[in-house]
Amino acid sequence: MKNYKNHISFAILILVLSGLIFAFSQITKNNNLNASNNNNQQNIAESKPFEYVPSRNSLINSVSFENNYGGTNFDEVKFVYNLGNYYLIGETLSTDNYFQKSNSNSIFVLVTDKNGNVINVKTQSFNSSISIITAKIFNNSIYILVNSNGCNLIEFNMSTNSFNNIYSINLTPLDLIISSEPIIVLTNNNETTFYFTKSKTSQTINENIVNIKLGCDYANGTLLIYNTQNNIFVSILNKTNIETKLIIFNCQLETFNITENNFILLIKENNNFKVQIYNHNFELENTLQVQNGSNFVLQQFNNVNYLTFVNNNFLNILTFCNHGDLLNLTKIQNNVESFSQQSINNNLIFLTKNSNNTITISSYNYLGELKNNSTIIVSNKFEIVAMEVNYNLNFVVIGNFENANSLITSSFGNQDVFMFEVKI
């Protein structure tokens, strides 16, 4: 009987131990499953790409579509190129949404189709704060000059959608000239150096250049038009020397136009403005005094020169001939802060940013007579960077904004990039 009881006790003990082992295995299994599920969920969440938001219909009848791009921090487009698709080049501090693959202090190239839908976004990050100086096209690449603890030239290859570091040096970048090859302009104290990126040669002058108004292929070198602190220079740069063709003393160049027969320069001298007309031998032929103003644009159509500018918030068109004779001065719009301008089908097309938080798209004939216009209310934190008349003969407008409004109806964060199309 005693042995029988011992057998029963032993059997019960085995059953209890088996139950404990089974329970422990189930707990362990469940914990492992939970851990595995958590990891899988986390990996799925981290690897899920941001879905590009398609462009949308606008609340405004005259707007074909609108869209915005960005993250929760500051995003800013600086330069735009239409190369079949639109290439938006800018800076971002965001690390999420459209820029989730970047670190803070990054440049970006954001590619959209003609309807504002994003095709691709690429970013390149830096270890310190950044400022894009300029971005220019050469061959099949966009060359981006960046100031980030010195000069950095970055190539964005449009075929491979990839960035390449071309050149870095601990000097201050001033500009990038596209001629027979990309040429970096660097400043150091009272010197300016031109570095030829393909030839790996350089030329240095003892001048502190303030800004370069033009750099392009010309004859057997590169034509340069630039301002120093006090003077205007016209020079020819090549790999062996720089030859000065013209110096205009005690002036600053505001804008210029090169026509079939002339160099036409708009010059500021002692807070007064004048147009000087030079032949292609850089000999002065005519001079015309003009009103003070800002945001000057100088163009020529049918041998008539058109100078558009803002004076006391009026948008003006001044016309003159190559002999320097004033033909007409017309005030065409009030409350204008700044504007962009294009010519198409014998019309002047304007997009103006106005002092009453509106933008206006308007077309005029060459006599300054209004043909049609459209005004849209926008927020006061609204910066237009680029606009162009597209294949539909409508305006595509690209820029930066801070607050959603009736025109751009959503936002991701502190400052986004916008794009919309306006029917003319």
Which of 175-189, 276-290, 298-312, 361-375 is least confident?
Answer: 361-375
Place of tokens 């570095």: 195
Residues 151, 116 share a domain: yes
Identify any residues that bridge with 348 across adjacent strands, giving them in sequence order: 343, 364
* 207 Cβ contact partners less than 8 Å away, ≥ 6 residues apart: 190, 191, 192, 228, 233
In this structure, is residue 411 part of a structural domain?
yes
In this structure, is residue 416 part of a structural domain?
yes
Residues 143, 66 share a domain: yes
Residues 192, 157 share a domain: no
Residues 119, 95 share a domain: yes
372-417 pLDDT, tens digit each: 888 988 876 889 999 888 777 788 999 999 999 889 999 999 999 9
- Determine the structural domain holding residue 191 and report its residue range: 171-250
3-state SS, 141-201, equals EEEEEEECCCEEEEEEECCCCEEEEEEEECCEEEEEEECCCEEEEEEECCEEEEEECCCCE
In this structure, is residue 157 part of a structural domain?
yes
In this structure, is residue 3 part of a structural domain?
no
Residues 151, 215 share a domain: no
Q: Which of 158, 64, 50, 42 is nearest to 111 (CA)?
A: 158
Distances (CA, A) of 329 to 213, 255, 318: 26, 19, 4
Among 250, 266, 287, the domain-final residue is 250
Residues 229, 128 share a domain: no
In this structure, is residue 281 part of a structural domain?
no
101-144 pLDDT, tens digit each: 888 899 999 999 999 999 999 999 999 999 999 999 999 999 99
Q: How confident is the model at residue 6 (pLDDT cuts 50, 70, 90)?
A: very low
Residues 187, 148 share a domain: no
d(CA 268, CA 338): 19
Encoded tokens for 407: 């025109």
Q: What does pLDDT average to over the chain?
A: 88
Which of 78-92, 217-231, 317-331, 359-373 is least confident?
Answer: 359-373
Residues 186, 139 share a domain: no
The pLDDT assigned to 117 comes to 98
Domains: count for the chain: 2
Strand spans (E) along 22-140? 63-69, 75-83, 85-92, 106-112, 118-125, 131-138
Whole-structure pTM value: 0.86
For the beta carbon of residue 382, count every other beta carbon within 10 angstroms: 19
Residues 62, 163 share a domain: yes
Residue 34 clears pLDDT 60, i.e. is over it: no
The pLDDT assigned to 347 comes to 85
Residue 72 clears pLDDT 50, i.e. is over it: yes
Q: How confident is the model at residue 302 (pLDDT cuts 50, 70, 90)?
A: confident
